[in-house]
Structure 1
């Protein structure tokens, strides 16, 4: 048995697993079974880890070591929950509770039980209770000097604080938890959970600075452990998300595919839903709408809501009414601030495309307030871009420019190549509306180059259409040109609104802008201008 123990001490999980598997389990002590279960879990054999942990549980219980038995019950509850077995998870959590009551006295296991109970409160949306239970677990970890419980509970406190909108407090708690992990204070099983939970937490609020720093640390941690499979799927997803942000879209797609393979090998196929959503988002931006739809469907089949990406896909495919209906449904429930961080940019895009500028402005102001509270550069960029896009659609190109220039600067600081290019395209539209065509061409040319580099063909085509000098006379915007062409074809305002999925109020505003720029006073004169200049 010493060979397996030596492999375990070195962190060579595959070698430890192989050695214990060859020697058999009959003569293993409870402590050796605990270690073997850790090796089994880290190399990704879920069914086997349940069997080994059950044996360890019985060995501890039969030896009268109720504290050790509670530890096994805790891990069984965590493992079965992660693998989509809620009934077993609930049963093992209840068993842990019974044993803690049997122990009677104050013990660190009460802290671990509070940590388990916290998940039920989170599932019920009871953040106050979840926060109290996380605090109880943290207090037990501190009093009993349990490094694993301290790291897990501190991380949990951070996630709950962020969910409740206490962003500064929550990020400080996540920082604390990550220091405990990076410094090597925790066991491998706990370290992996803290890494992935903390990175997921900051990704949700677009804190890509922390996400990048912690993903790099997670990569080093994974690479130092031969045979490690657990947590490597999450690592690949986080790596792919950062690649997407930085414009390495082909590499990101490969990481998502690798993550899906690792999830499947580890027996957690439900987690593939996240990789499917990420893949769908990229395929949508590339203009591969059928592939994006298939990816979103795959996510839905695995129980993961593909919205709001699916609404943006419908918008890209000309189904503005469907996109708007989806967004209205998503906006209706009183979601917490974390959910709003993800939803609002997409909702604003749909509302602007369908002509509801006033509602989009309200949401852009909400996003700006959230961004100020979070303090993440990328979220601040998204908020500034939303405010600029609203002013542009409202006809105030000059008022939109400061917001959009700020957005471009912040996206560039975040190394977000695609998003920075979108901001530049919007800046170009503003400059065209202000009749500064030379400056607009510089912005649009740069934006188009970035779109082509990452493979965002639809946006590259849009930039090209805006750059076409013959198609945009008199400082008309691309949307105004669309309206003018429909006017020239004899459409009424209501028909134009239906065809472009706009409100009649928005169409009337565009038409007023067109009359002013063309220096004409009627629809007939505007139509004549369009025919004379070859616009139809």
Structure 2
């Protein structure tokens, strides 16, 4: 190298030491990889990966692997092989990941003596065991990796394996133990003990583990910590997609749906830049869920289809979409299949609330009841506030649909309190709407009116059009005002919500000529001359 190139390399090393990944990457890119030593190539690969250049990460790691091997540093070569396996696997290159895992194992066997790299090999084997559904072996391998990391005082391996112990424990239903391990791993991150790549992996893995079981208190705390960590890494692109997804999930829970959709869009852009297109499917599912709640069924269907095209199962959100579209048989078929598939407690947490909704809607109350009880048992074991609230909602809905409105009401009042505590206005409003239905069944219309009116106000504020319309239908007086017929009220309600004549005709399965005749009758009875005036009348008289 000439003097100028050496200066650039020194600058790159200085940027790397300060954690300025973009500057380090740019400097090393200017100098070129020729002439860099094994350790410098390893560092360049880290900088390339953190700023989103996967192909260059792989290229540099491969050269570092060869350089370490040629120097006789088998442990350095094994570490490169481990990182190559992890990174190619993250990008869906599973054959390469398996090949590099095997190469790392060969090198460790060649080393012969006990070394920390044996712990990293155990970690890779743990992933394979999880993929095969062998959680007993996965737990053994996670424990082996953790013990090795502690024996050799490797903070990265200890943190990664502790996080893995937590995820495996949760998969096998040991929730308290699992969450304890996740807390332990996160403390190691926030204390600054870990390298940046490992810190990012632990952050995202732990947050995902909590989100899967509805432990949104931890999700909120750790997402805020992840966001602060990302902000301190100049030029960081890796892990920012996951950060945006988790922010979106929290915003959706809190009713900030526009903001949630923007975060999902941002996450998809980041994943695209990183080349992890499979993860875009996850953002599509989340997007579809929000659009479905808003009543944008076509948009939700397109989002779910995009997820499926990318290899991500959009269920059970898609079943709920079919239910909202009047396709109860299709929704029931999907739920029956999902319930019959083998799955652990994490999968059941995700499935059961939707399954109860579908079964109740198609009249299968007796099948919904044990699922609501199972959900309640899971919620008790986990201690998650949102899962506990979901279980109370499900139990209340089952009692209501079985004809026991008095028995349902305590569940639903508790659900409303818990959803409110969890800062989830949509779900709290659902509990109030169900409470309103109970009170109507108990011949207490004044109390029902208060619950339904409050629920409708929340739904309107959130833009949850289908649920707002349902609340309005329950609030509609027994005898329509102005001498309107029941059919005219249906037409007026849709017109007041902005539907055109063709849209009203399609929704009510009428001809456009019939809709026009109904509107003419409505204008005459109400003595109004425009759709705007008719809509105002509908709002004034609680028809919408």
TM-score, shorter chain, exceeding 0.5: yes
The residue aligned with 1:363 is 371
| Count of paired positions | 475
The residue aligned with 1:441 is 449
| C-alpha distance in structure 2 between counterparts of 1:61 and 1:118, whole Å | 26
Matched, 1:273 2:290: no
| C-alpha distance in structure 2 between counterparts of 1:322 and 1:92, whole Å | 44
* Offset from partner CA, 1:342-373 (integer Å, 9 cap, x none): 00000000000000001100100000000000
Tell me which stretches of 4 or more aligned residues in structure 1 moved more than 3 Å.
none
The residue aligned with 2:18 is 10
- Runs of 5+ in structure 2 lacking a partner? 1-8, 481-489, 491-544
The residue aligned with 1:431 is 439
| C-alpha distance in structure 2 between counterparts of 1:453 and 1:133, whole Å | 50
Deviation larger for 6-15 or 367-376: 6-15
The residue aligned with 1:336 is 344
Q: Which of the residues 14, 38, 46 maps onto 2:46?
A: 38
What are the equivalent positions in structure 2 for 1:160-179 lying under 5 Å apart?
Answer: 160-179=168-187
The residue aligned with 1:290 is 298
| C-alpha distance in structure 1 between counterparts of 2:160 and 2:435, whole Å | 45
* Offset from partner CA, 1:179-207 (integer Å, 9 cap, x none): 00011110000000000000000000000
Q: TM-score, normalised by structure 1?
A: 0.88
Matched, 1:456 2:464: yes
Q: Which of the residues 239, 245, 249 maps onto 2:257?
A: 249
Deviation of 1:470 (Å): 2.2
The residue aligned with 1:502 is none
Q: Which of the residues 124, 130, 139 maps onto 2:132?
A: 124
The residue aligned with 2:328 is 320
What are the equivalent positions in structure 2 for 1:7-86 lying under 5 Å apart?
Answer: 7-86=15-94
| C-alpha distance in structure 2 between counterparts of 1:432 and 1:12, whole Å | 63
* Offset from partner CA, 1:271-328 (integer Å, 9 cap, x none): 0000000000011111110110000000000000010000000000000000000000
Question: Secondary structure of 2:478's match?
Answer: helix
The residue aligned with 2:106 is 98
| C-alpha distance in structure 1 between counterparts of 2:425 and 2:47, whole Å | 41
| C-alpha distance in structure 1 between counterparts of 2:335 and 2:246, whole Å | 26
Matched, 1:396 2:404: yes
Matched, 1:115 2:117: no
Deviation larger for 313-322 or 433-442: 433-442
What are the equivalent positions in structure 2 for 1:173-188 lying under 5 Å apart?
Answer: 173-188=181-196
Deviation of 1:471 (Å): 5.8
Deviation of 1:31 (Å): 1.0
- Runs of 5+ in structure 1 lacking a partner? 473-481, 483-536
What are the equivalent positions in structure 2 for 1:188-267 lying under 5 Å apart?
Answer: 188-267=196-275
Deviation of 1:27 (Å): 1.6
Q: Which of the residues 392, 416, 421 maps onto 1:384?
A: 392
* Offset from partner CA, 1:81-139 (integer Å, 9 cap, x none): 01011000000000000000000000000000000011110011000000000000000
Deviation of 1:333 (Å): 2.0
The residue aligned with 2:3 is none
The residue aligned with 1:407 is 415
Deviation of 1:334 (Å): 2.8
